[in-house]
Structure 1
Amino acid sequence: MRAGPAPGAGVGAPRRSGRGGRPWAPGLVLALLALLALARVAGMAASPARGPLAGTLIVVDPGHGGVDRGACHLPSNTVESEITLAFSFLLRDLLREQGARVLLTRTRDEDLDLDPRIEIANANRADYFLSIHVNWFPDPSCFGAQTFYFPGREESRRLALLVQDELKKVDPANFREIQTGRYRVLRLTRMPGVLVELGFVDSPHDRAFLHDPERRRQLAEAIVRGVIRHRRGEVGPEPAPDLRDR
């Protein structure tokens, strides 16, 4: 991912997991059916019958994978595709503890195009779509987790406000606000959805979060709290007027 340093702005698009991708080929249809079959089974039975998210189905999308490693900081062995997968497993477990059924768009280091990710969410009629990424910008002073939503989707915007509010509680130094993103995975999924950038690979501040198990757990718990608040009908705090809907 790529971002500029301005508060609440400048975070760029996911290179593969948010837009673009390869054209459909006939062979992909069979592969998609297999993916959907696996999706309907994986992770569906371990959730408790009760909890604030009982009765919800949430699709968690670990960005990138396979040959598409995403954003990397090789001196610290920080690789986006690896972080997003490990984080998504943690997020899945925490969501299940709150009663949700959870599907992952990928469960291993594989090269998965955009449309199968979208179709897993749509075909299973998920209640939420959470796409997980890590950002990149060459200035190491650029830091902070940030939440994106597709413009014009009011429920997604409300979800983004709540998730970002919780992420900022985990890291009070984080000044970033929600931002719109015209990413394919957000545009074509039919349920409230957000894309969460967990931090910047070039930022020592953010790498401390990304590589520390307890801090990663805090970020995951923040996302879960944001989803729960959305489910309860809450409205998150609005950014300052000059930072809204950028």
Structure 2
Amino acid sequence: MYIRKPYFFAEKKTGILLPMFLFIILSYGVVANEYQPAEPVLSYSLANQLIVIDPGHGGFDPGAWRGELMEKNITLPISKKLQQHLSQAGAIVVMLREEDKDLAGEQFKGSLKERKRQDLKARVDEANRLKADLYISIHTNADPSPRWYGAQTFYNAHSEESKIMAECVQDELTRILGNTKRKAKPGSYYIIDKTEMPAVIVEVGFLSHPAEAKLLNDPAYQNKVAYAVFSGIVNYQASQMEPVDKSDKKIVTGSDIAK
């Protein structure tokens, strides 16, 4: 049987192309690991976890906007990148939207305010119906003043698990992004008040801050944000795993096997 060799292994060019290929692979590894956790990530803790990702706004509702930048067009790509990280770690991921639309339904005929209320209810209802393990809502922030910046995570003050997850996510946003000193903060918002599982809102930055808005529109930075959120979720899940009590484990020796 004849097996065609990849071009970079062609016999006459191996001396040149193979080193070039290895250089590209190694270079990619350096870039990919630029913001990897210092300690091994226990991503196996996400295996078979059902995680709902909620890309904020969509359709008739642009969310915050400055100039040509709209919140709904920032939250979706970040959410898709987060979905990819989580899926690769073995989680079962449900995206509440994968295109520019809301969840109120095409047949809804109410006012814009009523449609927004229906949209939020549909998001919460779907997560509760699925009995999701975690709920992650991605948003961007905005303020009349352009001075404010930095990603920040919010949680329901009555949910201790949500607080722990928010703190884990915020720690990773702080460590990986390197441009926020904000802390996880309690808040009262419909989606984190009504969901029946640990839930957080991640405000990934301020569109009202010119420099941060430019970053948030950059796919490379979006992936960095997504990875930070992913890493925070991993840390949260790992913290929830029951520690192994080594005192209960018997050390098996050769004499035990012989018996």
The answer, yes or no, to whether TM exceeds 0.5 is yes
Ranges in structure 1 where 5+ consecutive residues have no aligned partner = 1-49, 235-246
Q: Which residue of 2 aligns with 1:160?
A: 166
Match of 2:56 among 36, 59, 63: 63
Q: Residues of 2 paired with 1:102 and 1:173: CA distance?
A: 28
Q: Which residue of 1 aligns with 2:87?
A: 96
Query: Alpha-carbon deviation of 1:142?
Result: 0.4
Query: Alpha-carbon deviation of 1:208?
Result: 3.1
Query: Alpha-carbon deviation of 1:183?
Result: 0.6
Match of 2:231 among 217, 225, 230: 225
Q: What one-letter code is carried by the residue in structure 1 that aligns with 2:49?
A: T
Q: Residues of 2 paired with 1:218 and 1:119: CA distance?
A: 30
Q: Which moved more, 1:105-114 or 1:62-71?
A: 105-114
Query: Alpha-carbon deviation of 1:209?
Result: 2.4
| Equivalence map 1:26-105=2 (5 Å) | 51-74=44-67, 77-105=68-96
Q: Which residue of 1 aligns with 2:131?
A: 125
Identity %: 40
Q: Residues of 2 paired with 1:166 and 1:209: CA distance?
A: 18
| Equivalence map 1:138-153=2 (5 Å) | 138-153=144-159
Query: Residue 75 of structure 2 contacts residue 139 of structure 2 at CA under 8 Å; is this kept in 1?
Result: yes
Tell whether 2:220 aligns with 1:214.
yes
Per-residue CA deviations over 1:67-102 (Å, capped at 9, x if unaligned) read 11000011xx21101111121111111110111010
Q: Which has the higher helix share?
A: 2
RMSD: 1.6
Task: Between the two structures, name the one with larger relative contact order (CA 8 Å, sep ≥ 6).
Answer: 1
Q: What one-letter code is carried by the residue in structure 2 that aligns with 1:171?
A: L
TM-score (normalizing by structure 1): 0.72
Q: Residues of 2 paired with 1:167 and 1:98: CA distance?
A: 19
Q: Residues of 2 paired with 1:187 and 1:169: CA distance?
A: 28
Q: Which moved more, 1:151-160 or 1:166-175?
A: 166-175
Query: Alpha-carbon deviation of 1:170?
Result: 2.1
SS in 2 for 1:160: helix
Once superposed, which parts of structure 1, at least 4 consecutive aligned residues long, lie more than 4 Å away? none
Q: Which residue of 2 aligns with 1:114?
A: 120
Tell whether 2:145 aligns with 1:134.
no
SS in 1 for 2:62: coil
Query: Residue 136 of structure 2 contacts residue 201 of structure 2 at CA under 8 Å; is this kept in 1?
Result: yes
Q: What one-letter code is carried by the residue in structure 2 that aligns with 1:152?
A: H
Q: Residues of 2 paired with 1:126 and 1:171: CA distance?
A: 28
Q: Residues of 1 paired with 2:177 and 2:47: CA distance?
A: 28
Per-residue CA deviations over 1:127-172 (Å, capped at 9, x if unaligned) read 1000010100122120000000011100000000000000001232
Q: How many equivalent residue pairs?
A: 184
SS in 2 for 1:59: strand
TM-score (normalizing by structure 2): 0.68
Q: Residues of 1 paired with 2:99 and 2:177: CA distance?
A: 29
Ranges in structure 2 where 5+ consecutive residues have no aligned partner = 1-42, 104-118, 241-259
